[in-house]
Homo-oligomer: A and B are copies of this chain.
């Protein structure tokens, strides 16, 4: 069967080998490695011993062919240079590994071509997909679902209400940030947006604008950072060069807020927060770094991941159940990058 001679791994040890060694049948071996299947204590022990001696390990690939469950979850993620995502990934990994699921990781190229991605996800018969890439077209989610693969989007929602999602409270976060800035007596606010079509950006911006409106403030100045460090540098330069320079900027995430702070301080010589307040979103690790000490709205990763996990499991058990849309509350973490409300 093998044609390329280069390929020859030592013969695999299979359940049949173990069965022979333990003087029993292959089915019994299978049962010994399957939770709550009926097998006498005695036989089970004999099998386990033989297996250990032979270095036998059940072949998960073969198993999933018959069970039709791979115990593999596809995770699609990009923007790994934004610390928020690796942190999410690490927690996801922990959570799913603990439940004996493995994670097959995909990045969507920023080009957004999700088709080949979808192909691969389907071919590997994943039990579910977690989509945590803001860059992603919502098409991927729809395709997965149409193909019967449970999907949950993490840190984003998409148009289709039938697709479950877990997000932070983006709108409320934007709103609180707007209130905080206006209460501190800022006169000219700015907003540096992430990717325009992303739900995170949309909701954060929505909340922010609403707060300004309620406070009787004009619309904020606007620039596009696209969740990219370099683009944000340009956006900040542009915004800070305006005739009327903002005295407070809300950046749609911490990653951009850091870029913005660097520009303000080192290119414009501004003192933060005296000359300019900056607030981010996510409360990533670097927000705590003293050189930034960034005021931010938190997204509690642990809770988001737990909710994602629960939702995925529920969907695997009952694919037809109604979609869930979980919103995990965060809170404004006040540090020193923005002036405090006048008391």
Residues of chain A whose beta carbon lies under 8 Å from any beta carbon of chain B: 1-2, 6-10, 12, 55, 57-62, 64-66, 68-70, 72, 75, 78, 80-81, 83, 85-87, 89-90, 93-94, 97, 102-107, 109, 119-120, 122-125, 147-148, 229, 258, 261-262, 265-266, 285-286, 289-292, 317-319
22 A-B residue pairs with Cβ-Cβ distance under 8 Å, sorted by A, are: A59-B65, A59-B123, A60-B124, A61-B61, A62-B65, A72-B104, A75-B105, A80-B87, A81-B83, A81-B87, A83-B86, A90-B107, A93-B105, A93-B106, A93-B107, A94-B107, A94-B109, A97-B107, A103-B105, A104-B104, A104-B105, A261-B291
Pairwise interchain contact B68-A9, C-beta atoms closer than 8 A: yes
Q: Copy number of this protein in the oligomer?
A: 2
With a cutoff of 8 Å between Cβ atoms, the chain B residues found around residue A291 in the complex are 261-262, 265-266, 291-292
CB distance from A74 to the nearest CB of B (A): 9
A116 to chain B, nearest CB (A): 8
Cα–Cα, bound, A116→B167 (Å) = 32
A250 to B148, CA, bound (A): 54
Inter-subunit contact A262/B285 (CB<8 Å): no
